[in-house]
């Protein structure tokens, strides 16, 4: 059975890169009928925050990602927060001590920094010199008596090349001399990521480690630890790096990159899911609009591209518009749009929101667009734009809206077909047509020279508000 994990550090908002990692793990688990484990990597005590963990969980759920085991849902392999697994780590550190795989290193940060600078100046890859590697027990005892702090370093087998088959990158070979003996336990006694991740992945019986390419260089170190502890190695799959459109690594410089920001900007989760899945993968069919079900059905980890994925913000926006306009059911769309209407102060009941959306959904790309698009449905006391004023400061226009006013007054309610019938009558009676007929009505009802289909607007806002707006225009422009 496939067991994969998403292992975020709760040190900030869920960003697109991590969301894509979570998504591919989820899709792969679903595709294989396996299990997804959420593990919170909160060993960085300074930067990890409970609020971030809560927000990560909330954003993941919003995206439609569900896990089978995790800190919030439990499971047989817990605890699922690294901060609660210290006793477990101690046990395995002990094992590495016993087997001689790790040794005490007394080098100070200053000494190490010196070494590093020297190596860089000489054009060598900076790596630990091995100074403390072969200290005798007597030497160690002596230094310890001075009370010097120490770290534990992993004894890397000199010159060995670690080879592994990455499911996306293919065969990867890294010589250990590129990094040298590395720290496993810091001087304050806390174990480092490369060590705890191995213990956790092994004990949680993770079969496939699917994560960002930025972790590729950690993998040989982790493999050495798997071997030292006698653990079975999982398969690895490193997802391609995500670039911005300028081909540099995607970052805040490229605009909003957190899932939270997209949520707040009115992106719908289906579009995000779809858009994230396209970061390194493409469906076989000739369209980029693919549902979660289709993705799960078709996705395989080997099909993920090795080349960097470019995040195309405009494409995501376009996809979002497709979901809003064509895919979501109207009731569902209404429920999702309500917080946005409310954010802009547009108060109404569900049915009214739904009617408005039915008219404007075709013009929306994000739910934030309701601010502008829904405006004529909610605001009666609007300002007239300059070009709108010009139109109303004209005898013929005023005549049109006065006649229109009379005709609407005589109706019980005004529907789209009433509007069409009335305007036809006016056309005949006043001998005006086209722009000269419709523009005065439009600007009297909205204050603008373009926008919503007026025949639909009048039906939604209803007779009374239509009359009220016409009266206001007539009063303002000298009726
Ligand atoms: N906590 C690590 C991160 O957020 C997880 C890396 C991994 O998946 O091994 O980058």
- Residue whose Cα lies nearest atom 5 of ligand 1: it is 7
- Chain mean position to CA 159: 41
153 lines ligand 1 (CB under 6 A): no
176 lines ligand 1 (CB under 6 A): no
> Could you give the CA distance from residue 138 to residue 271 in angstroms, rounded to a whole number?
64
180 lines ligand 1 (CB under 6 A): no
Judging by beta carbons within 10 Å of its beta carbon (0-12, 13-18, 19+), is residue 246 exposed, middle or buried? exposed
44 lines ligand 1 (CB under 6 A): no
215 lines ligand 1 (CB under 6 A): yes
Measure 113 CA to ligand 1 centroid, in angstroms: 26
> Could you give the CA distance from residue 294 to residue 409 in angstroms, rounded to a whole number?
53
Is residue 212 classed as helix, strand or coil in its secondary structure?
Answer: strand
pTM of the entire predicted model = 0.92
> Could you give the CA distance from residue 317 to residue 151 in angstroms, rounded to a whole number?
49
Q: Which of 441, 432, 436, 428 is nearest to 401 (CA)?
A: 441
- Residue whose Cα lies nearest atom 10 of ligand 1: it is 8
CATH topology of domain 86-239: Rossmann fold (3.40.50)
In 10 A of CB 64, how many CB atoms?
13
Element (H, E) at 241: none
Whether the ω angle into residue 79 lies within 30 degrees of 0, i.e. cis, is yes
376 lines ligand 1 (CB under 6 A): no
Token pair 């490193």 in the structure block, residue: 238
pLDDT of residue 479: 54
Measure 290 CA to ligand 1 centroid, in angstroms: 28
> 1-70+240-327 and 86-239: same fold?
yes
Going by C-beta distance under 8 Å and a sequence separation of 6 or more, which residues neighbour residue 172?
163, 164, 165, 166, 216, 219
Measure 7 CA to ligand 1 centroid, in angstroms: 5
For the chain, domain boundaries? 1-70+240-327, 86-239, 329-374, 380-477
172: left (phi over 0), alpha (psi -120 to 50) or beta: beta
- Residue whose Cα lies nearest atom 4 of ligand 1: it is 8
234 lines ligand 1 (CB under 6 A): no
pLDDT of residue 45: 86
Measure 146 CA to ligand 1 centroid, in angstroms: 37
pLDDT of residue 225: 98
Query: CA angle 18-21-27, nearest 5°?
Result: 140
For the 1-70+240-327 domain, the top CATH level (class) is alpha beta
> Could you give the CA distance from residue 214 to residue 318 in angstroms, rounded to a whole number?
29
- Residue whose Cα lies nearest atom 6 of ligand 1: it is 7
- Each of the 479 residues of the chain gets a pLDDT tens digit; together they read 999 999 999 999 999 999 999 999 999 999 999 999 999 999 888 899 999 999 999 999 999 999 999 999 999 999 999 999 999 999 999 999 999 999 999 999 999 999 999 989 998 888 898 999 999 999 999 999 999 999 999 999 989 999 999 999 999 999 998 899 999 999 999 999 999 999 999 999 999 999 999 999 999 999 999 999 999 999 999 999 999 999 999 988 888 899 999 999 999 999 999 999 999 999 998 899 999 999 999 999 999 999 999 999 999 999 999 999 999 999 999 999 999 999 999 999 999 999 999 999 999 999 999 999 999 999 999 999 999 999 999 999 999 999 999 999 999 999 999 999 999 999 999 999 999 999 999 999 999 999 999 999 999 999 999 999 999 999 999 75
336 lines ligand 1 (CB under 6 A): no
Element (H, E) at 133: none
> Could you give the CA distance from residue 21 to residue 369 in angstroms, rounded to a whole number?
29
Using most ligand atoms within 8 A of CB, pick from 47, 193, 201, 234 the residue to mutate for ligand 1: 193
Active site residue: 252, 315, 420, 435, which one?
A: 252
Using most ligand atoms within 8 A of CB, pick from 5, 7, 239 the residue to mutate for ligand 1: 7
pLDDT of residue 281: 96
Using most ligand atoms within 8 A of CB, pick from 3, 5, 9, 12 the residue to mutate for ligand 1: 9
E-strand ranges in 208-253 read 208-212, 235-239, 242-243
**Is 252 a known active-site residue?**
yes
8 lines ligand 1 (CB under 6 A): yes
Measure 438 CA to ligand 1 centroid, in angstroms: 60
What tokens were used for 134?
């072969």
Element (H, E) at 325: none
CATH topology of domain 380-477: Arc Repressor Mutant, subunit A (1.10.10)
Measure 167 CA to ligand 1 centroid, in angstroms: 18
DSSP 15-68: BHHHHHHHHHHHHHHHHTT-EEEE-B----TTT--HHHHHHHHHHHHHHT---S
Enter the CATH code of domain 329-374. 1.10.8
């Amino acid at each position: 059975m496939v067991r994969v994990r998403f292992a975020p550090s709760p040190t900030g908002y869920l960003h697109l890169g991590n969301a894509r990692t979570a998504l591919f793990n989820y899709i792969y688990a679903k595709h294989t009928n396996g299990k997804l484990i959420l593990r919170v990597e909160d060993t960085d005590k300074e930067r990890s925050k409970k609020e971030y963990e809560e927000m990560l969980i909330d954003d993941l759920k919003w995206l439609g990602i569900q896990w089978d085991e995790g800190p919030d849902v439990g499971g047989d392999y817990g605890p699922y927060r690294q901060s609660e697994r210290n006793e477990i780590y101690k046990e395995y550190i002990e094992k590495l001590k016993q087997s001689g795989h790790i040794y005490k290193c007394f080098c100070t940060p200053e000494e190490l920094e010196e070494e590093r600078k020297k190596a860089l100046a000489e054009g060598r890859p900076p790596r630990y010199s091995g100074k403390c590697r072969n200290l005798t027990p007597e030497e160690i005892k002596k230094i310890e008596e001075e009370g010097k702090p120490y770290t534990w370093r992993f004894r890397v087998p000199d010159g060995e090349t670690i080879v592994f088959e990455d499911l996306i990158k293919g065969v990867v070979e890294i010589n250990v001399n590129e990094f040298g003996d590395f720290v496993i336990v810091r001087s304050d006694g806390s174990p480092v990521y490369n060590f705890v991740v191995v213990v956790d992945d092994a004990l949680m019986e993770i079969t496939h480690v699917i994560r960002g390419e930025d972790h590729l260089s950690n993998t040989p170190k982790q493999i050495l630890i798997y071997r030292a502890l006698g653990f079975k190695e999982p398969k690895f799959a490193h997802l391609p790096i995500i670039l911005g459109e300028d081909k540099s690594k995607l970052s805040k410089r490229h605009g909003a990159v957190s899932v939270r920001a997209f949520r707040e900007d009115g992106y719908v989760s289906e579009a995000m899911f779809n858009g994230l899945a396209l970061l390194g993968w493409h469906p076989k069919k000739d369209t980029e609009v693919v549902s979660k079900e289709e993705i799960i059905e078709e996705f395989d980890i080997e099909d993920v591209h090795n080349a960097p994925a470019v995040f195309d913000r405009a494409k995501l926006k376009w996809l979002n518009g497709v979901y809003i306009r064509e895919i979501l059911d109207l009731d569902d769309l209404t429920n999702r749009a309500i917080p946005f209407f409310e954010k802009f102060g547009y108060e109404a009941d569900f049915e009214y929101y739904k009617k408005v959306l039915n008219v404007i959904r075709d013009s929306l790309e994000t739910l934030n667009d309701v601010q502008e698009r829904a405006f004529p449905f909610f605001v009666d006391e609007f300002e007239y734009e300059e070009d709108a004023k010009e139109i109303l400061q004209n005898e013929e226009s005023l005549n049109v809206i006065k006649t229109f006013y009379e005709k609407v007054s005589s109706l019980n309610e005004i529907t789209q077909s009433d509007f069409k019938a009335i305007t036809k009558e006016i056309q005949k009676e006043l001998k005006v047509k086209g722009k000269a007929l419709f523009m005065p009505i439009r600007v009297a009802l909205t204050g603008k020279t373009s926008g919503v289909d007026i025949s639909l607007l009048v039906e939604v806002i209803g007779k009374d508000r239509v009359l009220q707006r016409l009266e206001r225009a007539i009063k303002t422009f000298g009726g």
